[in-house]
Amino acid sequence: MDIREALSKAAEYLIEITDSPILEAELLLAYSLEVDKYELITKSNRILTDKEFDHFWQLIKDRKSGKPVAYILERKEFFGLDFIVTKDVLIPRPETEILIELSIEYIEKHKAKSLLDLGTGSGCIPITLLYKTELEQARAVDISNEAIEIAQRNAKSLLPIQKQNRIGFQKGDILNYNDDTTYDLITSNPPYIPSKELADLPIDLSFEPRSALDGKEDGLTFYRYIAQILKKNMKKTGAAFLEIHSTLAEQSIKIFNDNELQSELYLDLANKPRVIKVTFK
């Protein structure tokens, strides 16, 4: 079977589970053959060996089972950077890019120097902000050792050498956070899915770490603790950008407004509530 036929067979097989079967088949075949995606197009008549086809088809079967492409490729592009992702970290989402845009604008306007990122996962938030701005220091915290290991690898592979020592990773618990430093900017995309919704998640989300999704009872537990962290660890002139569940905007905002803080809501590209900016009143 040649490349063209293999792609066509795979795309047909994947059609039920994805809106982009051709693109995904191409990505998986390129990964499997360790070639550039464009090489597939220019060499579409090349015959695959049985071993090459079997390897490719195993990946296609993984995808058919619902496993996200990013976990198969162990890569996800976020804000133009190519992050390593494994089953131990949430796949960075396009929705989170709005938080990055708002933070970059804030850092540049206010000449912010220090950042704390809570629940860092792959490290996509602090690494992107360090890469794109003149931030001087970032601390990235997660409860998962495995996530911290991935975030460290991402910092090493993505940040220019002169910025690599500007980020420190720390195992820590948002629900029992102990830090005396104050920061110009605090960011977080905490787990925010109410526990009772976890049973009915779409199949692809079932591959992501539960601890990255589980926002406990009402999905708001982390925000209650983050409000206390902001009161202690955010500079009086500082700000926080927090991702929220689109259906919990009002309740999220109330938590901060009841805590000597004030919040401003931002929508994502689909016009859904997605990020709040929190400052002192």
Ligand X SMILES: C[S@@+](CC[C@H](N)C(=O)[O-])C[C@H]1O[C@@H](n2cnc3c(N)ncnc32)[C@H](O)[C@@H]1O
Out of 144, 221, 233, 259, the residue judged to bind ligand X by CB under 6 A: 144
How far apart are CB 72 and ligand X at their closest, in Å? 18
Q: Are 243 and 199 in contact (CB under 8 A)?
A: no
Stretch that binds ligand X, among 103-111, 170-178, 251-259, 267-275 (CB under 6 A): 170-178
How far apart are CB 98 and ligand X at their closest, in Å? 12
What 3-state class would DSSP assign to 245?
Answer: coil
Q: Is 191 near ligand X (CB under 6 A)?
A: yes
Residue 31 identity (one-letter amino acid): Y
Residue 5 or residue 214: which is nearer to ligand X going by CB? Answer: 214
How far apart are CB 192 and ligand X at their closest, in Å? 7
Out of 18, 32, 96, 259, the residue judged to bind ligand X by CB under 6 A: 96
Local structure of residue 94 (DSSP, 8 states)? G
* DSSP H or E stretch at residue 131: helix 124-132
Binding to ligand X by CB under 6 A, coded x per residue (else -) over 192-211, reads -------------------x
Distances (CA, A) of 204 to 31, 47, 144, 182: 20, 32, 21, 38
Query: How many residues touch ligand X (CB under 6 A)?
Result: 23
User: For helices 221-233 and 249-257, what crossing angle results, to 10°?
Assistant: 30
Out of 14, 127, 212, 253, the residue judged to bind ligand X by CB under 6 A: 212
Q: What is the DSSP string of 133-197?
A: S---EEEEEES-HHHHHHHHHHHHHHS-GGGGGGEEEEE--GGG------EEEEEE----B-GGG
Rounded CA separation 164/166 (Å): 5
How far apart are CB 42 and ligand X at their closest, in Å? 35
Out of 14, 130, 147, 159, the residue judged to bind ligand X by CB under 6 A: 147
Integer distance in angstroms from the first to the last C-alpha of the chain?
66
Stretch that binds ligand X, among 39-47, 64-72, 183-191, 233-241 (CB under 6 A): 183-191
Which residues of the shown chain bind ligand X in the complex (CB under 6 A)? 89-90, 92, 96, 119-122, 124-125, 141-144, 147, 173-175, 189-191, 211-212
